[in-house]
Amino acid sequence: PIERKWWHTATVYQVYPRSFCDLNGDGVGDIPGITSKLDYLKSLGIDVIWLSPIYKSPMDDNGYDISDYQDIAPEFGTLADFDRLVSEARNRGIGIVLDLVVNHTSDEHPWFVESRKGPGNPFRDFYIWRKPAADGGPPNSLKSSFGGPAWTLDTLSGEYYLHLFSTRQPDLNWENPAVRAEIYKMMNWWLERGIAGFRMDVIDYIGKQVDHEIVHDGPHLHDYLQEMNRKTFGNRDILTVGETWSATPGSALLYSGRNRHELSMVFQFEHVTQQWDEVFGKWRSKPFDLVKLKSVLGKWQYALSDDGWNSLFWGNHDLPRAVSKYGDATGYPVESAKMLATVLHLMKGTPFIYQGEEIGMTNVPFTTIEQYRDIETLNMHRLHIEAGLSPEEFIKGANENARDNARTPMQWSAAPYGGFSTGVPWIEVNPNYPKINAEAEMTDETSIWNHYRKLIALRKTHEVIVYGTYQSWLDSHPDVFVYSRTLDGERLVVAANFTARDLTVELPGELRLSGQGLISNYELVDALGENLTLKPYEAFAVLAR
Ligand code: TEU
Ligand code: CA
């Protein structure tokens, strides 16, 4: 008996502003560009836009390094442009969720500029400073996600500051109540402007205890989130989603449990990281394993079935394009993109679409490091080459999992630069834009885009999709994904083929039923018998009463 929330039936669309739509032709996407595409998003049927950071920033990490939380990056527009986006979106029933990046700021943030001035400065304790180790090296062995030590020596004071990401992203000190108070004030300022929620960047890090080398799930993490909830959005009906790479089903219940007063939901990444190499991480991936994927996704469905809430996603601005990662972008790009959408959107939780996913955008194939812009990839390239990897090997891994391969401009049409900009874009457009673009997708009734549109609409009309009890079937089958959702005498069965082959599998008795075909990427199916036959990447849903 979960209390009903508007975001249970909502579908969220992530906009990565830099690559969405460039209205003034400087090669960088902007807020007026986003506003100009609201009708596009409205016709897709989404309810919420999660906007990656648009704040003032030197863009060391594309805006995840904020130098002023209460202003807009000039290349993206002005506060007036933002207010207009919020109100135009609201007119269409769409809410704007902001990216809240409060684990760290930019080194150009005035707090850090002050903090650097030395011990005794009132802002010193806004960040995490430590004396060098006995040998003059970093205080301990904490590492940055972007490579190298998480500590940088500041010659001004002879002390090290902590940065779990780039050297230009110093970590805020959440143990300092003054830091927390400033952040809550800033959050309330945005809430007053009418936003619909926050996506919280690496929020599992804010309780860190650096002297014990504890980064995620620190002892006060949930205290801070409850305090934040109380002091900011607690009485507002908004959507909050925490980015928590460390989340387990147990901690997800703490974040999103109904009596916890923390967040609406979190992003968990187990289905992502289970595909990474134990030693080389995402820079060397493992062969795709459907049995594992089903078991991870199923585990989360079961764990949060009575309390808490799942987010559902295949991709985002940090991850490869879904169709390139889990589908078949060369052999069956359309079928497999629709199959992946079907499997994800009919699970229990709030689905998130990463811009371009709805038109089947693929990872761009890059051939040299010069084509990359991302600080993470550039750092990792340097480190891996130093460690003896060949440039070719590095590019091969990067093409699979580096962030820029999924950050190329949105492909709007077959016009130059995919209609993203009239000027030269900040990063190359995927050369497949003449074929894969929104204009072509919208005019084709059988397109991936129309498939997404149907899935989004189905969630609004079928309670069983929103609240039905999840059950997985054929768990050990290596090629098919079959699950059911059951609510008040209704049963929805979803079946999908994750291969390019025709398959026949025997169905358990409980699933041999007939009803109404809801959606399919081939012909609708309205009855299931003893044997289920599936064409390459076929996926469908049957609703039986
Ligand atoms: O991501 C957190 C994060 O951990 C990723 O950087 C991840 O480590 C990496 O992509 C996997 O190798 C968030 C944002 O989503 C990301 O864009 C930012 O770069 C990062 O935080 C720092 O703010
Ligand atoms: Ca622009």
Whether residue 278 has pLDDT greater than 90: no
Question: What is the Å distance from ligand 2's center to 286 Cα?
Answer: 38
Q: What is the pLDDT of residues 479-498, one digit of tens each?
A: 999 999 999 999 999 999 99
Whether residue 301 has pLDDT greater than 70: yes
Q: Which two three-digit tokens encode residue 181? A: 């108070």
Nearest CA to ligand 1 atom 9: 318
The Cα–Cα gap between 402 and 380 comes to: 10
Are the CB atoms for 527 and 513 separated by under 8 Å? yes
Whether residue 281 has pLDDT greater than 90: no
The Cα–Cα gap between 253 and 268 comes to: 12
SS (H, E, C) 129-147: EECCCCCCCCCCCCECCCC
Average pLDDT value for residue range 510-539 = 97
Q: What is the pLDDT of residues 36-46, one digit of tens each?
A: 999 999 999 99
| DSSP codes joined into one string, 40-69 | HHHHHT--EEEE---EE---TTTTSS-SEE
**For ligand 1, what atom is nearest to the CA of residue 317?**
17
Nearest CA to ligand 1 atom 2: 202
Question: What is the Å distance from ligand 2's center to 57 Cα?
Answer: 15
Nearest ligand, CA of residue 398?
Answer: 1
Q: Which two three-digit tokens encode residue 158? A: 């002879």
Question: What is the Å distance from ligand 2's center to 523 Cα?
Answer: 43
Are the CB atoms for 254 and 260 separated by under 8 Å? yes
Residue 1: the pLDDT is 62
Closest CA to 103 of 174, 191, 190: 174
**For ligand 1, what atom is nearest to the CA of residue 245?**
4
Are the CB atoms for 67 and 58 separated by under 8 Å? yes
Nearest CA to ligand 1 atom 5: 318
Q: What is the pLDDT of residues 199-223, one digit of tens each?
A: 999 999 999 999 999 999 999 999 9
| 3 state DSSP class of 531 | strand
**For ligand 1, what atom is nearest to the CA of residue 318?**
10
**For ligand 1, what atom is nearest to the CA of residue 101?**
23
Residue 316: the pLDDT is 98
Closest CA to 54 of 79, 68, 73: 73
The residue behind tokens 């500590």 is 151
Q: How many other β-carbons are positioned within 10 Å of the β-carbon of residue 343?
A: 24
Are the CB atoms for 170 and 163 separated by under 8 Å? yes
**For ligand 1, what atom is nearest to the CA of residue 61?**
19
Nearest CA to ligand 1 atom 8: 145
Are the CB atoms for 346 and 465 separated by under 8 Å? yes
Closest CA to 408 of 379, 372, 377: 372
Q: How high is the mean pLDDT of the chain?
A: 97
To test the pocket of ligand 1, the residue of 52, 64, 98, 198 to mutate (highest count of ligand atoms within 8 Å of its CB) is 64
Give the type of residue at 71.
D
- Surface-to-core class of residue 114, CB atoms within 10 Å of its CB (0-12 exposed, 13-18 middle, 19+ buried): middle
Are the CB atoms for 462 and 454 separated by under 8 Å? no
Question: What is the Å distance from ligand 2's center to 241 Cα?
Answer: 28
Question: What is the Å distance from ligand 2's center to 32 Cα?
Answer: 8
Q: What is the pLDDT of residues 136-193, one digit of tens each?
A: 999 999 999 999 999 999 999 999 999 999 999 999 999 999 999 999 999 999 999 9
**Measured in whole angstroms, how far is the alpha carbon of residue 119 from the centre of its chain?**
38
Q: What is the pLDDT of residues 414-465, one digit of tens each?
A: 999 999 999 999 999 999 999 999 999 999 999 999 999 999 999 999 999 9
What confidence category does residue 277 fall into, taking pLDDT thresholds of 50, 70 and 90? confident
Please state whether the predicted TM-score (pTM) of the whole model is above 0.90. Answer: yes
Average pLDDT value for residue range 338-358 = 98
Angle, helices 249-256/221-231, rounded to nearest 10 degrees: 20
**For ligand 1, what atom is nearest to the CA of residue 64?**
23
Question: What is the Å distance from ligand 2's center to 413 Cα?
Answer: 18
The Cα–Cα gap between 427 and 404 comes to: 8
To test the pocket of ligand 1, the residue of 202, 203, 215 to mutate (highest count of ligand atoms within 8 Å of its CB) is 202
Whether residue 90 has pLDDT greater than 70: yes
What confidence category does residue 285 fall into, taking pLDDT thresholds of 50, 70 and 90? confident
Closest CA to 441 of 338, 320, 324, 330: 338
Nearest ligand, CA of residue 76?
Answer: 2
Q: Which two three-digit tokens encode residue 79? A: 């506060």
Rounded to two decimals, the ipTM of the complex is 0.97
Nearest CA to ligand 1 atom 16: 318
Dihedral (CA of 519, 522, 527, 531) sign = negative
Nearest ligand, CA of residue 20?
Answer: 2
Q: Residues of 243-260 as b/e, b for ≥16 C-beta within 10 angstroms?
A: bbbebebebbbbbbeeeb
To test the pocket of ligand 1, the residue of 67, 201, 204 to mutate (highest count of ligand atoms within 8 Å of its CB) is 201
**For ligand 1, what atom is nearest to the CA of residue 145?**
8
Residue 361: the pLDDT is 98
Q: Which residues are identified as catalytic?
A: 201, 243
The Cα–Cα gap between 88 and 38 comes to: 8
Closest CA to 33 of 43, 45, 21, 42: 21
Ligand 1 environment, Cβ below 6 A: 61, 64, 101, 145, 165, 201-202, 243, 245, 282, 317-318, 376, 403
Are the CB atoms for 94 and 42 separated by under 8 Å? yes
Nearest ligand, CA of residue 404?
Answer: 1
Closest CA to 114 of 132, 101, 126, 131: 126
Nearest CA to ligand 1 atom 23: 64
Question: What is the Å distance from ligand 2's center to 267 Cα?
Answer: 30
Nearest ligand, CA of residue 315?
Answer: 1
The three-point CA angle 243-248-252 to 5° equals 60
The Cα–Cα gap between 56 and 350 comes to: 30
Q: List the domains of the chain with CATH numbers.
A: 110-162 (3.90.400.10), 366-402 (no CATH), 468-544 (2.60.40.1180)
To test the pocket of ligand 1, the residue of 62, 65, 165 to mutate (highest count of ligand atoms within 8 Å of its CB) is 165
Average pLDDT value for residue range 359-372 = 98
Are the CB atoms for 345 and 541 separated by under 8 Å? no
Question: What is the Å distance from ligand 1's center to 376 Cα?
Answer: 9
